[in-house]
Amino acid sequence: MAHGQETAIEGIYEVCIGIPDPIVAIQYWEQYGYRIGQVGELSADAAEQLYGVNSFLRSIRLYHQNVDHGLIRLMVWQNPTNQGLGLVSMKVKGNRWATTLTADALNILNHVEDAKAAGWPIRYTNPYWEVIYNKERKSRPFIDSAVGVREMLLLQPFTRQVLFQRFGYTLPHYGQIDRNAALKTSQFTHMGMIVQDDSKESLKFYEEVLGLLRVRDDVETSYESSPAGRELFDLKPGEKYIVTAFDDPRSSKSDLMAARSGRLYIIRFPDAIALESQFEAAKPGSLGMSLYTYRVRGIQAYYDRIQASPAQKLTSIVENEFGEKSFSFIAPDGYFWTLVDS
């Protein structure tokens, strides 16, 4: 799809997190380098119009250094609709999680183990070694450099995170680590969703309607091939999932060094696997990670495009809690989205 100057979309703008206590949440995310940016509110009527939730809403947008994507919106609902995804398995339809680059995964693991020892509700994996690029390349341990990542899962009642540390390579536009942050972490680099759609029809929406760049497609991960995938996504022997990734259009399908963060990872499980549906626990009004937003230039053009698409429950264009033009809809795969005018 050709994009003129009038319309443009970038990487995922915000991960929106329903929280009961803003002070605790702000303190937590400050350790990852986030800071308070904007604060705004909506009446119950206005929140119902934009988010389908009849509750007064106060939101706090958290910034990370000077980046323009991968931000956090803390949403404090006067009357939350449910407790959210909590510690449920990553292997459910409706699941959402956000991934962060760190310079020190072991330090984060230290905090995780302290939290577990203190009796916190927490679910996690140790940092698994994964070779992501050039998997076929035979490297000689201790002689050649080890090129890959350590990645770990961290689930808490109001956050669902994957953290990864790179070894042997860098990507200049994919995650900016704040070295002064306690946990030496970047903004969110990519966000994930779980679907079941063997036909892949629902994927077309992100490419053809939203205009995102499909950069990886049909990348299979099986129980047998990936210890990390096996534990992160509760795979049973013989099970697999398939990854498709959508990027900011300025990213690249072929030039790894041009890859940009703000990526949307859609993980498809085959229709033959019985998956629980948790969409109700992962949309606005829910506690925890319950919404992703994209910022767009030319919001009316996007509205018209989405109105002509198979998306459902399209709202009017109204002002959000920060006074920005916004509208919401449910994509063909069942996920709730909000677009924000830039």
Using one digit for the tens of pLDDT, what is the confidence trace for 102-122? 999 999 999 999 999 999 999
Q: What mean pLDDT comes out for the span 284-310?
A: 97
Checking if the pLDDT of 136 tops 90, the result is no
Lookup: tokens for 58: 């106060």
Residue 3 has pLDDT above 50, yes or no: no
- Tokens 């323009």, residue located: 68
Q: How far is CA 235 from CA 99, 231, 258, in A?
A: 20, 7, 32
Cβ atoms 309, 209 nearer than 8 A: yes
Q: Give burial (CB, 10 Å; 0-12/13-18/19+) of 184.
A: buried
Which amino acid, 40? G
pLDDT reported for residue 139: 83
Give me the pLDDT at residue 2, please. 43
> 3-state DSSP: the chain helix, strand, coil percent, rounded to 5?
20, 35, 45
Output the pTM of the full model: 0.96
Residues 166 and 104: beta-carbon distance below 8 Å: no
- Rounded to whole angstroms, the Cα distance separating 233 from 95 reads 11
Q: Which domains does the chain have, with CATH numbers?
A: 8-341 (3.10.180.10)
pLDDT at 89: 96
Phi, psi for 235 (deg, rounded to 5):
-75, 140
Complete DSSP assignment for 65-81: TT-SSSEEEEEEESS-S
Q: Which two tokens stand for residue 77?
A: 């609902």
φ, ψ for residue 301 (rounded to 5)? -65, -40
Q: How far apart are CA 313 and CA 278, in angstroms?
A: 18
Supply the pLDDT for residue 7.
63
Q: Among 42-51, 52-61, 253-262, which stretch is predicted with the lowest mean pLDDT?
A: 253-262
Phi-psi group of 296: left, alpha or beta (phi > 0 → left; psi -120 to 50 → alpha; rest → beta): beta
What the block records as the tokens of 271 is: 């229709």
Measured at the CA of 261, the angle between CA 256 and CA 267, to 5 degrees, comes to 90
Q: In this structure, are residues 17 and 290 in contact, taking their beta carbons and an 8 Å threshold?
A: yes
Q: Are 285 and 55 in contact (CB under 8 A)?
A: yes
Q: Which two tokens stand for residue 303?
A: 């509205």
Residue-level pLDDT at 5: 47
List pLDDT tens digits, range 210-265.
999 999 998 899 999 998 899 999 999 999 999 999 999 999 999 989 999 999 99
Q: Which residue is associated with the tokens 């310079």?
A: 103
Q: What is the pLDDT of residue 164?
A: 98
At 254-265, the pLDDT tens digits run 998 999 999 999
Give the E-state strand segments of 196-259 in sequence order. 213-222, 240-247
The radius of gyration of the chain's CA atoms, rounded to the nearest angstrom, is: 19
Residue 4: pLDDT band with limits 50, 70, 90: very low
d(CA 106, CA 98): 19
| Residue recorded with tokens 């329903």 | 18
pLDDT at position 133, please?
76
